[in-house]
Amino acid sequence: MKHEVLKYSDDFENHIDQIARLKTINWGLDFDVFRSYVKWNYIDRPHSKPPIIYFVRAGEEIVAMIGAYETTWQLPGVSASFNALCSADVLILEGYRNKGIYKMMTDFVLEDLERMGAQHFFSFNATPLNTMISLSRGWKSVGQIKIMKKQFQTIESRVMTIAKELAGPYARKLLRKAGIGMILKRRERSNSQKIDMIRHIPGTQLPPRITMDDRPRPAEMALLANRTLPENKITQVRDEMFFRWRYNNPLSKYLFLYWYDDCLKGYLVLQSHKYSMESGGAHNIFELEATDSSIKIELLNTLLSLIDFGSISTWINMLDRDSYDFLASKGFKEDNSTISVENLHRTILIRLLGKDNNKLEFQGLNLLDAKSWDYKMIYLHDH
């Protein structure tokens, strides 16, 4: 059957259902959930108009897609900035994989982006296989994202441990008979519920300057983020409009810790996927911003006082030395898994487009040097 690549950027509203259906088939989740995600990621996204989507059609069926969105990058103290497109939602129906569709689709996309005048194309979410293919086809690696993680007990095992300590087998038998074990199992499947549980822990007392909320504070967060830009690192522009949009992702749940003095001087964002297939509670330290490292450590310490189940992960690239040492002292360990096609660490990829495709520097910084970038988990479109 003939495969045809099509671009949908105009009249986008008419194609939301097709995109959502493709994601629903690939991920097996609710159609309405993905429809709201597609609207959030492509229509509601600020600073990126119009939406850019490419489809592969086999007959009348949409069988693959690649999305793209625009980002703006800056260097503190420099008025110049540059725009880059980022890839998103690379999806191919299972029955059409390994048939050359990925190459055909990406070739079409790169040629079209060059016609649009794009110069930089980033990928933050390539699968391990796509990373290997991309590197063989001219993409460049900026470096791997290293992860630091701590694994706690699951909710159920923690309750059973307490029961064992208090009353032995009899208490465990009562728990099972009452069906509490099944309730806990169901809770483990909902990371959304687990973050809500953290917010409603009875008797929770926070340090005097820290408040907890389930909502972002976009204006204050934007002011602080721009006050604390790291020197000599390229970072994505994050203004009030960006923060207001960013934390509406329907696929994620967030918890916010704010540190106040006379104004907001630090915040930490905890993120979990609402529909994660991983049981036990997988959380990410999504953002950590503060005017000094002592505030960061107080925010981290407060977070750890609230969570003792599931797991917490963060990108080492996001941490200053003091924060890294603090987490290491609390049992966080680097993920040093053996590198293979199956378990590659997340890799940031860049593709230079156009005739003048040697622009590997911005204001004297090498774009292929990981030390030139301020990478944050907030840049990921699917979190």
Distance of alpha carbon 149 from alpha carbon 310, whole angstroms: 11
DSSP notation for 117-156: T--EEEES---HHHHHHHHHTT-EEEEEPPEEEEE-B-HH
> 112 φ, ψ to 5°?
-70, -40
Q: What is the pLDDT of residue 180?
A: 42
Q: What is the pLDDT of residue 78?
A: 87
Q: What is the pLDDT of residue 128?
A: 72
Which residue ranges in the chain fall short of pLDDT 50? 162, 172, 175-189, 277, 279, 338-343
Q: What is the pLDDT of residue 357?
A: 59
Could you confirm whether domain 3-146+340-379 is CATH 3.40.630.30?
yes
Q: Do domains 3-146+340-379 and 148-154+189-334 have the same CATH topology?
A: yes
Which helix (DSSP H) or strand (DSSP E) does residue 374 occupy?
Answer: none
Q: What is the pLDDT of residue 26?
A: 64
Distance of alpha carbon 102 from alpha carbon 348, whole angstroms: 19
Which helix (DSSP H) or strand (DSSP E) does residue 162 occupy?
Answer: helix 155-167
Q: What is the pLDDT of residue 273?
A: 87
Q: SS3 of 92, please? A: strand
pLDDT digits (tens, 9 = 90+) for 300-338: 999 999 987 788 999 998 999 999 999 999 999 997 654
Distance of alpha carbon 12 from alpha carbon 17, whole angstroms: 10
Residue that is written with structure tokens 């495709």 in the block: 357
Kindly report the pTM of this predicted structure.
Answer: 0.84
DSSP notation for 316-367: GGG--HHHHHHHHHTT-EE--PPP-SSSPPPEEEEEE-SS-TT--EETTEET
Which CATH number is associated with domain 148-154+189-334?
3.40.630
| Sequence spans of domains, the chain | 3-146+340-379, 148-154+189-334
Q: What is the pLDDT of residue 207?
A: 92
DSSP notation for 290-320: ESSHHHHHHHHHHHHHH--BSEEEEEGGG--
Distance of alpha carbon 111 from alpha carbon 134, whole angstroms: 15
